[in-house]
């Protein structure tokens, strides 16, 4: 069981890294929307924007991996509702941020949608499958919905609000993930306490 979990986690890490790396060649698509009248100030500004996008994707990837590993390690202790909620939150928020970043970066509804939806499906699958396939399905469907909403937001937002939109969705992701982590921590602590009390109770 541990070997299977390690294998699935390793595959999940590799796929997320590959999906994150897709952003580099896709920057060429975004470059097609730039006009030839660029100046040094505009180039430095564009570099800053790209750095914000990359940092956002890296942050979401690392935090999502941490939560997926946490959920898989605690799958035997968590209740069905908690497992479903955990998979749903991780998948939806990760795909939302990925979709937003890809949307503002590429200006392509097609690429931003399929990248973010794939990320959401994988996050939901690996976050919930160790508990039950119902939890995994809940996570995958939430990942699809979050990816589509993020892609639409990223493509439709105005040029002046792109960076603020990415920062807002990333901050929202971190806040919601923090609440999820605290809820999981509280439930795991209660489960450990109940287990200790059952051992101390005389037969």
Q: Is residue 196 part of a domain?
A: no
What is the Cα 116 distance to its own chain's centre? Answer: 9
Nearest to 102 by CA among 87, 115, 88: 115
Q: What is the pLDDT of residue 122?
A: 94
Q: Is residue 65 part of a domain?
A: yes
The full length of the chain comes to 203
Q: What is the pLDDT of residue 137?
A: 95
Q: Is residue 105 part of a domain?
A: yes
Q: Is residue 93 part of a domain?
A: yes
Confidence of residue 38 (pLDDT cuts 50, 70, 90): very low
- The span from the CA of 83 to the CA of 66, in Å, is 15
Confidence of residue 37 (pLDDT cuts 50, 70, 90): very low
Q: Is residue 201 part of a domain?
A: no
DSSP code, position 1: -
Nearest to 162 by CA among 98, 115, 112, 100: 100
Q: Is residue 129 part of a domain?
A: yes
- The span from the CA of 66 to the CA of 74, in Å, is 12
- The span from the CA of 27 to the CA of 162, in Å, is 15
Q: How is the chain split among helix, strand and coil, in percent rounded to 5?
A: 85, 0, 15
Write the pLDDT tens digit of every residue in 151-170: 999 999 988 888 899 999 99
Confidence of residue 41 (pLDDT cuts 50, 70, 90): very low
Which residues span the domain enclosing 51?
2-27+42-188
Write the pLDDT tens digit of every residue in 170-200: 999 999 999 999 988 888 887 665 655 555 5
Q: What is the pLDDT of residue 103?
A: 93
Q: Is residue 92 part of a domain?
A: yes
Q: What is the pLDDT of residue 48?
A: 81
Average pLDDT of span 141-157 = 95
- The span from the CA of 148 to the CA of 153, in Å, is 9
CB-based contact 155:103 (threshold 8 Å): yes
Nearest to 74 by CA among 199, 150, 183, 159: 183
Nearest to 57 by CA among 111, 25, 16, 12: 16
The domain total for the chain is 1
3-state secondary structure 66-116: HHHHHHHHCCCCCCHHHHHHHHHHHHHHHHHHHHHHHHHHHCCHHHHHHHH
Instruction: Using a pLDDT cut of 90, give the percent of the chain over it.
Output: 48
Write the pLDDT tens digit of every residue in 77-136: 888 898 999 999 999 999 999 999 999 988 889 999 999 999 999 999 999 998 899 999
Write the pLDDT tens digit of every residue in 51-79: 889 999 999 999 999 999 989 988 888 88
- Mean predicted lDDT score pLDDT of the chain: 80
Answer yes or no: pTM beyond 0.85: no
Q: What is the pLDDT of residue 142?
A: 96
Q: Is residue 202 part of a domain?
A: no
């Amino acid at each position: 069981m541990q070997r299977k979990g390690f294998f699935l986690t390793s595959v999940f890490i590799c796929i997320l890294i590959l999906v994150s790396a897709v952003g580099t060649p896709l920057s060429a698509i975004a470059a097609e929307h730039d006009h030839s009248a660029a100046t040094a100030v505009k180039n430095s500004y564009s570099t800053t924007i790209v750095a914000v996008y990359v940092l956002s994707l890296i942050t979401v990837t690392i935090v999502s991996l941490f939560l997926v590993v946490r959920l898989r390690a605690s799958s035997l202790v968590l209740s069905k509702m908690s497992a479903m909620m955990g998979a749903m939150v991780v998948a939806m928020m990760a795909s939302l941020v990925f979709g937003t970043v890809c949307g503002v970066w590429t200006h392509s509804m097609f690429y931003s949608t399929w990248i973010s939806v794939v990320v959401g499906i994988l996050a939901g699958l690996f976050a919930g499958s160790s508990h039950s396939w119902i939890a995994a399905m809940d996570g995958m469907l939430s990942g699809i919905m979050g990816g589509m909403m993020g892609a639409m937001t990223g493509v439709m937002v105005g040029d002046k609000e792109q960076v603020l939109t990415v920062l807002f969705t990333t901050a929202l992701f971190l806040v919601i993930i923090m609440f999820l982590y605290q809820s999981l921590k509280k439930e795991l602590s209660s489960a450990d306490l109940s287990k200790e009390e059952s051992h101390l109770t005389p037969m």
